[in-house]
Amino acid sequence: VIGSDDRSDIALIKIEGKNLPTLQLGNSKETEVGEWVLAFGNPYGNGHTMTKGIISAKGRAIGEINKFPLMQTEAPINPGNSGGPLLNLRCEVIGINSAIRANANGVGFAIPINMVKQLLPMLLRDGKVIRSALGVRIADVRELSEADKKELGITGDKGAVIEYVANGGPA
């Protein structure tokens, strides 16, 4: 393992060998909703498989799965497929199979390859991803009670407030 990042569930590994096959990394930003994709993996540890489907949505922010927007596909992604490539029909890797929605049939998610491309230089150089932080927790004004708005002198529903400042943090 050269480096890993728990938040994105990405690891960079080095495999020793000669003449190993490789895949080209594509551009997930150019991927269109409705585009056909192929998902590869090893579901349930039963051997390698390929499933097909389409990109059904992009930019899914699913907090319980990850902290960044994912690509949604209805190409079956089963337990054990995580970490396998999601390919477009040009055989370019456009995502990394990441998760399934347990309470929905046929809804899977992949980490966009463009995000992975951003992380790779840090994983290679530092062995981890270093992220910026403000050291504050921010709340949407719309989430405040009327009493809190009045106490803070806020009128309207636009803007944000700093709820918390981390002791010794950057802020």
Q: Are 95 and 59 in contact (CB under 8 A)?
A: no
Helix (H) or strand (E) holding 60: strand 49-60
CA 146 to chain centre: 36
Amino acid sitting at position 162 = I
Sign of CA dihedral 99, 27, 89, 31: positive
Residue 126 phi, psi dihedral angles, 5° rounding: -110, -15
Give residue 98's pLDDT. Answer: 86
Give residue 99's pLDDT. Answer: 79
Give residue 64's pLDDT. Answer: 62
Q: Compute mean pLDDT per 10 residues along the chain, 171 residues long, and list them.
A: 91 93 95 95 84 92 71 84 92 91 75 94 95 86 87 88 89 87
Give residue 103's pLDDT. Answer: 65
Give residue 81's pLDDT. Answer: 79
